[in-house]
Amino acid sequence: MKHAKIKLSTKPYLLGTMLLTVLPGISAAETPKVDDKANGSQAAVLPEMTVTADSDKAARQTATEKYKLPAVTESVTREKLEDTVNVLNTEDAIKYLPNILVRKRYIGDKEMPVSMRTSGTGSSARSLIYADGILLSSLLGNNNGMTGSPRWNMVSPSEIERVDVMYGPFSAAYGGNSIGGVIDITTRMPEKFEAGGGVQSAWQEYDVYGHTDIYDSQQYTANLGSRHGDFSWRFDVSHLDAHSQPISFTYLPTSSGAGGVPVTGAVGDVDRTGSQRIFAIGEGNIRHTVQDNFKWKLAYDITPTLKASYTLGLWQNDESGGFNSYLRNANTGTPVNSGLINMNGRNYNLGSTFAENDYQQMHWSHGMALKSNTGGIFDWELTGSVINYGQDEQRAPTVAPNLAAAGGAGTITSLNDTGWHTVDAKGIWRPDSAWGPHHVSFGFHHDLYELNNQQYATSNWKYGGRGLLSTNSQGKTETNAIWIQDAWTFDPDWTLTLGGRLENWNAFDGTNTGSNGRTINQSNRSDLRFSPKASLAWKPTDSWKFTSSIAQAYRFPTVTELFQGTNISVSGTSNIVNPNPTLKPEEALSSELSAQYFLSEGSLRLSLFHEKVYDAIYSQTTFSPTANSTLSYAQNIDQISTYGWEFSGEHSNVVIDGLDLSGNVTWANSRIDKNAALPASVGKYQPRVPEWRASATATYHVTKDFTSSISGRYSSQQYGQIDNSDVNPDTYTGTGSAFFVVDTRAKYQLTKQLTLSAGIDNITNEKYWIFHVFPQRTYIAELKFNY
């Protein structure tokens, strides 16, 4: 085992060495880009263009460009996605960008939080994800479950124009949830009539505990759009029918009773702490997912420089989870999934250990925007978004499988009418002065998150109505903020950016009701915090740029951290997930020093970063002698420190025309400095933040119609528990096997309208776990039509 880990740890060095040696070496002999203005070329007369041309250019700017945001930004375009990434779902678009991991367990997964530089996938509220101004991040929670995972499914992959990732909380335009960064998705609108469609198929191999299978998925997409004078529209629809590998595994419960049916088939293993022998007896949550996504987008040019737009999205999900028992009757060989069993002389009561579940979900999204894009002295925009869980119910049995099959008793867990809305008003003023031009941006932000979470008993888990209320958790959080930021180019080579954000946060209407009928009305909360930002950029030549940034940010508790309470029974032991209405906000002090070198056909970047988070919010587990139960609830960790470096580079036409290279490598040391609630965690690694992450892509444009690529992704071992007690990563609930995954893709343009693509994700069939086992070798084929 030690030898294997040493081999794995060399992989980020190999990826980094390839980038450091090949890219600069190739570029050193190149002639730097000649300044077009100095040559008097056409680019030199751009400032003399008409207002209409300037407005067109301004309309195409990203948020970073328009508002002169100081954060380091990495991007991927639609063209690069088509050439290099097997995009089955929208979240696939960012998987090769620096220091990013999306916890995607299967095709159609609805719980896919993002891990960035200084935050793990269990800290979903430390990143912001937008699509055309609509907030996809679910700041209802700070977890990797339904309440904390982004609504990626509100965007169809076929409509993506580009994705920009801004690292760190260095811009006053975004709240403290940008501690990790901001992901900004821009989608396409047609300039003329267009129509398209596609068919994707995937087949995934699976082999765990000696049980093998192949799981298939299909997706069908279509889009239609046009422009008629000042009015444009687009409609996207997709249908996904996907089957997943098992997401959970079942182990023998606590011994109970005597006698029982002799069984065989259990598979020996070691738990995540490496200290206890366990026996896997079956697989659970084998998902069958049927999703439909509809998106309507309308836009109207009120004037050449003022555009109004409206987006309506509908996502439907019909999903079921099955199980597979490994156990067989020792006498008859028939499957066993309930009742008393006897294995190796030990007796167990399976009870409802094996269980199915079913989800019915329908979520709506609305986005509205009014934007001015003159590119002149002043521009402004007004945006708003609403996401509503119109229907969101999970059904599960509480009886043994033989009774559940006949529609036995169970529970209904509802998130109906949960959701959020946001409003943003922004302006940018571009005055000239004797001391250099300014870009003064400012704005107002409002958001409100509402949680409605109930669990009911039901006499028939498949079709029954709501019975006795088991738990009820409700509450709201609201933030109102104003911000201002000035990017002042006081010298042609120097730009100073100063900004600040004042946020007023409130939590209210929090209530918790238990199965005993007792209701607790939680106290209202209010807080006011100011976050200063500063950045200094120096560009001594056209080829070099150096940036130093520092920022403070506050991440306020989410509504589920404050108010959600749930009763969970695990292997006969009551596990009570409690709300914590007294949580303090997280306070982050972040800094970064970056150097960028611009090549004729690419760029290189090296960043040094450091972050301290005070009162970091994590779910911690303790045993309560009073309740005689394990209690899990969000608590404040006194201090976490992270520092490291990140290298990123890309270059086109390396050595030979048509060969493009890109990649990145990151080293981060993230440790818990102080934690009065659990002293054993001090000095340990922050959960789900590995020391090493790296990725690299090589793309070869063989001809104008044929492109092939190969990509690699690496992560060193990480931990899921704050005391790092999960030292055995290669088992269910073990978090953080080191992994090196290789993906490949080929695309051929059959005709002007038809494109055929094929690829393999995890071509080496790497088996790795991040709590769950992740997808093994997956074959993908795709046929697209565009008119």
Identify the residue whose tokens are 């946001």. 422
User: What is the pLDDT confidence band of residue 677, given thresholds at 50, 70 and 90?
Assistant: confident
Can you tell me the distance from the alpha carbon of 179 to that of 614, in angstroms, rounded to the nearest whole number? 12
747-787 pLDDT per residue, tens? 999 999 999 999 999 999 999 999 999 999 999 999 999 99
- E strand residue ranges, 679-723: 692-701, 706-715
Query: And the tokens for 143?
Result: 């977890």
Q: Mean pLDDT, the chain, as a whole number? A: 88
Q: Work out the average pLDDT over 404-419.
A: 94
**pLDDT tens string 174-216:** 999 999 999 999 999 999 999 999 999 999 999 999 999 999 9
Mean pLDDT of 263-281: 90
pTM over 0.85: yes
CA distances from 129 to 109, 133, 135, 362, 758 (A): 17, 9, 6, 20, 29
- For 342-366, the pLDDT digits (tens) are 987 888 888 888 999 999 999 999 9
Kindly tell me if the per-residue pLDDT of 67 is higher than 90. Answer: no
Q: Are 608 and 627 in contact (CB under 8 A)?
A: no
First-to-last alpha carbon distance for the chain, in angstroms, is 54
Largest Cα separation within the chain, whole Å, is 93
Per-position DSSP letters for 566-579, written without gaps between them: EEEEETTEEEEEE-
Residue 141 identity (one-letter amino acid): G
Sign of CA dihedral 675, 679, 680, 682: positive
Could you tell me what percent of the chain has a pLDDT over 70?
Answer: 88
pLDDT reported for residue 630: 55
- Burial zone of 434 (CB within 10 Å; 0-12 exposed, 13-18 middle, 19+ buried): exposed
- Tell me: pLDDT of 33 over 50: no
Could you give the count of Cα atoms lying within 13 Å of 644 in the half-sphere of its Cβ?
20
By CB atoms closer than 10 A (0-12, 13-18, 19+), residue 568 is exposed
Q: pLDDT value at position 337?
A: 93
Q: Rounded mean pLDDT of 391-409?
A: 94
pLDDT attached to residue 57: 62
- Look at residue 621 and tell me whether its pLDDT is greater than 70: no
pLDDT at 533 over 70: yes
Instruction: Identify which of 401, 239, 240 has the alpha carbon closest to the alpha carbon of residue 322.
Output: 401
Strand partners, 500: 484, 532
pLDDT at 4 (0 to 100)? 36
Amino acid symbol at 327: L
CB proximity list for 391: less than 8 A, separation 6 or greater: 360, 361, 362, 416
pLDDT of amino acid 54 = 55
When mean pLDDT is compared over 253-267, 623-637, 749-763, the highest value belongs to 749-763
Output the pLDDT for position 631. Answer: 63
Which are the contacts of 438, defined by CB distance < 8 A and separation ≥ 6?
429, 430, 431, 432, 486, 487, 488, 489
Question: Given this model, what pLDDT does residue 40 score?
Answer: 39
Q: How many Å apart are CA 396 and CA 526, to the nearest integer?
A: 37
Give the CATH fold of the 2-786 domain: Maltoporin; Chain A (2.40.170)
Residue 16 has pLDDT above 70, yes or no: no
Q: What is the pLDDT of residue 330?
A: 94
Cα 669 to chain center, whole Å?
21
If residue 538 lies in a helix (H) or strand (E), which one and from where to where? strand 525-538
- Within 10 angstroms of residue 231's Cβ, the number of other Cβ atoms is 11
pLDDT-derived band of residue 634, with 50, 70 and 90 as boundaries? confident
- pLDDT beyond 90 at 622: no
Structural domain boundaries of the chain?
A: 2-786
| Dihedral of the alpha carbons of 759, 765, 766, 772, in degrees to the nearest 10 | 90
pLDDT of amino acid 572: 36
pLDDT at 166 over 80: yes
With bands split at pLDDT 50, 70 and 90, how would you rate the model's confidence at 580? confident
Report the distance separating Cα 748 and Cα 746, nearest Å: 7
Q: For 469-526, what is each residue's pLDDT tens digit?
A: 999 999 999 999 999 999 999 999 999 999 999 999 999 999 988 877 788 899 999 9
Residue 8 has pLDDT above 70, yes or no: no
CB 650 within 8 A of CB 696: no
Which pLDDT belongs to residue 349?
Answer: 87
The radius of gyration computed from the CA coordinates of the chain, to the nearest angstrom, equals: 27
Question: pLDDT tens digits for 231-249?
Answer: 999 999 999 999 999 999 9
Mean pLDDT of 112-123: 93
Query: What own/partner pairs with CB < 8 Å and gap ≥ 24 does 19-23 have?
Result: 19/647, 19/649, 19/661, 19/663, 19/664, 19/665, 19/696, 20/647, 22/654, 22/661, 23/599, 23/602, 23/604, 23/649, 23/650, 23/651, 23/654, 23/661
